[in-house]
Amino acid sequence: QRRVSHTPSLRKTVTAKETASLIAVLTFPQFVVQVFGAAYYNRHVEFQLDENANIGRYMCSDDGEWTTSFGRGMIALMFVLAVMMAWVSRELPSAFNEKRQMFRATGISMAIGMAAAIAGGDIQAPTTDPDRVVGLRVMNAIGIATTVLALVVWPKIRRVRSGEKVVMGSLFSGRSDSHPSSSPATTVTNEYEVNLTSGVLQHIHVVDRITLKKDDPLPRQLELDIFATQETLRGIADRCGDGRPLSLSDWKRMRADVTNLFNRIDGIELMWTNTDEAGGPPVSGITDADTDAEASVTAACSVTEAAPIVPST
């Protein structure tokens, strides 16, 4: 049974133009409302008295207050959208773990906004010092903005400025087991795993083969196996390099990961030839002898169920 993948790749580079367009779309409604409110309403300072007309204060009029309320509603809507985006993308690998930062920043911002709203109801009386009213509004705005900058923006700036390397294999740890078929192009034949206790290669399940056409995306599970194999080989090289002995557990793990990767690749059939690459001649260095050598390697690497694995001496 075969299945052909027609799913386009989800990977896409976000350009500066697209980022600027998104910022413009998010800020344009609030900008229009504020300009309209400033041009249409005549804001002025008025003297507010308490119920007994004994104590009062000078405050700006409430004319056009709906413009500010509209802005607050826009911010609340963006909070809701941020939470929804973080929830929908919670299973996607990320070098910066955006979803956790979004949830945390949104929760803290909502707590700050609710606290400011509750406190604002207590200081609206004319007997309250106007400086307290202004101070509360300023603290609310600065608190929300600082939370977003500190939890979402600053970690990315710090990561870029530090030049820290991002090990892509670690981004997929723990995800392949829970979502083994997240990509519709991920299918293999005769997958095996190694029992590290007995050192026996065991057949675990059989799934469909897959046929890839030109420009189809790399199958998701193949990508995971590549990263897992890279991590295993890198760890073994760090522990056993420079003449240090190779442990039996490292040997078994290396054989297991390489075997899984081989079986994953062996279950994929390409629907184009070397001459189809860029419309040119066959790929340099690929000859009939290489094809025969590949067949020999395939025969040498093929294993049967319950075949023991023994480190070479």
Strands (E), the chain: 45-49, 56-60, 191-195, 200-205, 210-212, 268-270, 307-308
What's the confidence (pLDDT) of residue 278? Answer: 52
For the chain, the structural domain boundaries read: 41-162, 191-308
17-35 pLDDT, tens per residue?
A: 888 898 888 888 878 887 8
End-to-end CA distance of the chain: 41
Buried b (16+ CB within 10 A) or exposed e, 202-241: eeeeebeebebeeebbebbbbbbbbbbbebbeeebeeeee
**What mean pLDDT do residues 71-99 have?**
73
Model pTM score: 0.41
Residue 308 has pLDDT above 60, yes or no: no
Q: Which residue has the higher pLDDT, 48 or 229?
A: 229
121-133 pLDDT, tens per residue?
A: 777 777 777 788 8
**What mean pLDDT do residues 289-293 have?**
47
Predicted confidence band of residue 297 (pLDDT cuts 50, 70, 90): very low
What's the confidence (pLDDT) of residue 63? Answer: 63
